[in-house]
Structure 1
Amino acid sequence: MDNYTSDEDTDEDFDTQLIIQWSLQDVHRPGTTQQAPADESFHHFLRAEYKKIIETIETGKEDALSHLTKYHSAFDEADGMGWLPLHKAAVQLNKNILEITLKASKPSVWEQTTHNGETPLFLAVSTCLLENASFLLLNGCNPNAKNSEGNSLLLTGANALAQASDSSSILLEAASGGNPDSVALLLEHGADANVPKNSGHLPIHVAADRGHLLALKLLVPVTDLAAIKQSGISPVHCAAAGAHPECLELLIQAGFDVNFMLDQRIRKHYDDHRKSALYFAVSNGDLSSVKLLLSAGALPNQDPVNCLQIALRMGNYELVSLLLRHGANVNYFCRVNPLHFPSALQYTLKDEVMLRMLLNYGYDTERCFDCPHGDKVHPCYTFEGWTSTVIKDTMFCEVITLSWLQHLSGKVVRVMLDYVDQVQICSKLKAVLQKQGLWSEIHFILTNPRPLRHLCRLKIRRCMGRLRLRCPVFMSFLPLPNRLKAYVLYKEYDLYGQGIFTGTW
């Protein structure tokens, strides 16, 4: 007979003797019954065995854990966070520990969740333990179980939708981690890529938002367009918001609509009520994504705040040029500062390169000289600046003659005269211009007939319209010499095209 006794066996004998001793004491204790103290002692016993089980799981002691499997009730206990031994085993590197623990656990607890709503399979996937996840799936664990308190999707670089609590599928968790093997494993075992979070986001949204290209490739063919439409947001938005052009290119090649607009329930979480994926890309200053979207047919004028306005505020020449070449409305009006003239001009008053970009692309320059007061004295205001309550329709002359801008008035007006026929300037603007060094040249232009060649160019441009002027295909079919086409397009004033990248006066 082997006289060797392990530490574990000694501990078991000690606990058993302790319970027997307590039970004998309780039998002879007056005024008590045997049953209640026995239950309490047994609970104490289970807690001790639970701690041993957890310790052996965490230290990877397979033999010791095998000895403890006879205490089946202890495998059903959970700690203060709701973690069963099976949860602990699911996040251990040793798969044998998980196998032993699963066999010792009742099937009824295999899908039991922690207080954070995590099943053992969810934990195995979130820690990228593929062998553990595969073992659990092969033994029948549900690949579509949800974590009831997962975090909702946050679109990168934006004031995006956030919710206090949400539910997250195991596949969505795998997509968030970006491990393509985890995603493939779950899909192979029947995980549904169209099960959304409470916020409506799908695994494909998370993969696109976080730039997980390989995971995204797996999710694209198994995600239904109907589920995406129901969510109110396209993965194209997510890839653009996260500044992941490689994911964006994949989605475009797969046929996703670059003009899918955010649903109203999602738009309302943004102060600017943005709608398009292009807006996200422009806001990020992400030229690669902007190029991809525009080349795929993204429309630049769909958002309440024009994409061109965002690019102008950033002072990004290449971004502005891209948008203008693809039909951005240079004559948009801003809702915040109500101006009589198209709002884009206010961002270019100190930059000739940017100013001529706007004017070359069909900016309505004549509207800037449209002042109802003419030669009459202008009303006096006790403030300087833009406001939506005092001035309902701010004139160009009121802006350019502000104390901190009037030193630019001569240069700005002189450039603008290259794009108009004969115009009249009001008394207020004239009084400021007369103090500028360019007044003599401006006065000469205003008081003399314009050259016939200049008038013909204006007439041709007016007849063609702004969009035809900027359309390369249309211009290529015009039966005109290239030199004349260049003249019609104001190529001599295209400073950006000439390689001039700074236009500060």
Structure 2
Amino acid sequence: MILILYTAGQEAVLLKLMRHCSAFKEADQRGWLPLHEAAAQLNKNILEITLKAIKHDLYEIASLLIRFGANVNLQCVNKRTALHEAARVGRKDMVNLLLCSGADPDPRSAYGLTPLALAAQIGHTEIMEILLRKGADVLSQAADCASILFEAVGGGNPDSLSLLLEYGADANVPKHTGHLPIHRAAYRGHFLALKQLASVTDYAAIKESGISPVHSAAAGAHPQCLEFLLKSGFDANFMLHERVCKGYDDQRKSALYFAVSNGDICSTQLLLDAGALPNQDPIKCLQLALRMGNYELINLLLRHGANVNYFCRVNTTHFPSALQYSLKDEIMLRMLLNYGYDVYRCFDCFHGDNIHSPYAFEGWTPSVIKDNMFCEVITLSWLKHIAGKVVRVMLDYVDHVSICCKLKAVLEEQTLWPEINSILTNPRSLKHLCRLKIRKCMGHLHLRCPVFMTFLPLPNRLKEYILYKEYDLYGQGNLLGTH
């Protein structure tokens, strides 16, 4: 065949072909092979040559190969054909050439992918239309059950999606993981694709999947997509199905958890404004924000009802768990206390004035995994230097409290002890006691509800006093944004 091509005046074509095929390089080094050897070598490498011609857009070479008997349906690695490659790289002329030469329009690779699926992945709409007109199956699915529409969403080309929907693609066919095309669009942030899919995706299919596209938009950190979904009526409190939750070590449930874990302020705000509940996950959203030290997230969650008095499931303490992240940060500490943190539990100690039992190892007792007391924690060697500052702040939020002998011994060594001792041994002001009484009567839920405080028939100055505005270090602008 080489001799035929050569004598036909196709020297330039042959030179190009030789540059892209190892077999012909070898032939060039050895001198022209006999005709029967050349034909055998060419048959052996015919698909490699064709694929290289397609990849490098050498239309003349591909055309000549086909004219001289190349098998257009020959399979290579993973059972892909030349049409797979032409569709993937977007060679419209090559696709037409192969189809006109008898190529199967819908061959499946080892992974179940068709040329239509590969073209859809990249968004080659013109090639997709050619394949569909030739009979490619718009409803075919890959080995992982991903539909052609699901593959097209990855490319984010709205024209490709419109074409597939026009030819009968089903937006309600899930991948083996349960994800639908709308989930992929939301996660990837393909806004136009998301708008198309929202109107053709059934709620029943979303419910069956166990995950909402709201979760996907929050997980992908795409506020524009998230806002669209929420305005379209998708539920901000749709919780992951139990089988989906098991795929996460933290057993997360809510879309809000995804947004907070990403540190995504905008998405968190959108979800909270849409009524997302902040206390639905096993690990609280507030705990995530505290762990990150993100003041803005903490403030957002507290303002929308996050439970400041939550308890961790592991290594629980006698006092609410949120405190452990704020001991060294007065801004965070004040934020928690202002929103109704149960400070009184920090001063509970069944030992009282009695000596605490000594440990074999400091900090390790049977109570570590059960009910560790605040006095045991704050007096640890690596924390006791801040005990005075923490206790002094806490005294702004309580009436009269007693401190145990262990905590007192540590406080007495610190510069703030005279001030702390004065507060502990003298009556509190009437003004302070009235604020505590009002806050107790209102309850934590009302204190956390901005709407309730807005309609409370009290002067603004009194409202601010009740809400400890003079101790709102974050709100005063001493430190804005995230920490």
TM-score range, shorter chain: 0.7 to 0.9
**d(CA) in 2 for partners of 1:377 and 1:64?**
93
Query: Aligned ranges for residues 66-77 of structure 1 at < 5 Å?
Result: 74-77=71-74
Deviation of 1:88 after TM superposition, in Å, equals 3.3
Deviations 1:340-375 (A, max 9, x none): 000111111111111111111001011111111111
Cross-structure match for 2:183:
205
Q: Which amino acid aligns with 1:78?
A: Q
Instruction: State whether residues 336 and 388 of structure 1, in contact with CA within 8 Å, keep that contact through their aligned partners in structure 2.
Output: no
Instruction: Note closer, same or farther for the CA distance 1:93–1:355 as it changes in structure 2 (3 Å cut).
Output: closer
State the aligned residue count: 450
Instruction: State whether residues 196 and 202 of structure 1, in contact with CA within 8 Å, keep that contact through their aligned partners in structure 2.
Output: yes
**d(CA) in 1 for partners of 2:380 and 2:305?**
32
**d(CA) in 2 for partners of 1:56 and 1:453?**
87
**d(CA) in 1 for partners of 2:61 and 2:350?**
94
TM-score (norm 2): 0.86
Query: Aligned ranges for residues 459-498 of structure 1 at < 5 Å?
Result: 459-498=437-476
Deviation of 1:259 after TM superposition, in Å, equals 0.9
Q: State yes or no: 1:351 paired with 2:337.
A: no
- 1:98 pairs, out of 95, 99, 102, with 95
Cross-structure match for 1:163:
none
Single out whichever of 393-402 and 73-82 deviates more from structure 2.
Answer: 73-82
Q: State yes or no: 1:444 paired with 2:395.
A: no
Instruction: State whether residues 175 and 183 of structure 1, in contact with CA within 8 Å, keep that contact through their aligned partners in structure 2.
Output: yes
Q: State yes or no: 1:174 paired with 2:169.
A: no
SS of the residue 1:74 aligns to: coil
Instruction: State whether residues 106 and 137 of structure 2, in contact with CA within 8 Å, keep that contact through their aligned partners in structure 1.
Output: yes
SS of the residue 2:146 aligns to: strand
- 2:374 pairs, out of 396, 406, 412, with 396
Deviations 1:243-264 (A, max 9, x none): 1111111111111111111111
TM-score (norm 1): 0.83
SS of the residue 1:88 aligns to: helix
Instruction: State whether residues 92 and 98 of structure 1, in contact with CA within 8 Å, keep that contact through their aligned partners in structure 2.
Output: no
SS of the residue 1:81 aligns to: helix
User: Tell me, which stretches of 5 or more residues in structure 2 are unaligned?
Assistant: 9-38
Instruction: State whether residues 145 and 169 of structure 1, in contact with CA within 8 Å, keep that contact through their aligned partners in structure 2.
Output: yes
Cross-structure match for 1:294:
272
**d(CA) in 1 for partners of 2:287 and 2:368?**
24
Q: State yes or no: 1:87 paired with 2:81.
A: no
SS of the residue 2:145 aligns to: strand
Query: Aligned ranges for residues 33-182 of structure 1 at < 5 Å?
Result: 47=44, 54=51, 57=54, 74-91=71-88, 93-105=90-102, 109-148=104-143, 166-182=144-160
Cross-structure match for 2:168:
190
Instruction: State whether residues 337 and 386 of structure 1, in contact with CA within 8 Å, keep that contact through their aligned partners in structure 2.
Output: no
Q: Which amino acid aligns with 1:111?
A: D
Q: Computing the radius of gyration over CA atoms, which structure comes out larger, 1 or 2?
A: 1
Instruction: Note closer, same or farther for the CA distance 1:416–1:99 as it changes in structure 2 (3 Å cut).
Output: same
Q: Percent identity?
A: 62
Cross-structure match for 1:28:
none
Instruction: Note closer, same or farther for the CA distance 1:139–1:490 as it changes in structure 2 (3 Å cut).
Output: same
**d(CA) in 2 for partners of 1:59 and 1:441?**
81
**d(CA) in 1 for partners of 2:210 and 2:7?**
63
SS of the residue 1:143 aligns to: coil
Instruction: Note closer, same or farther for the CA distance 1:10–1:229 as it changes in structure 2 (3 Å cut).
Output: farther
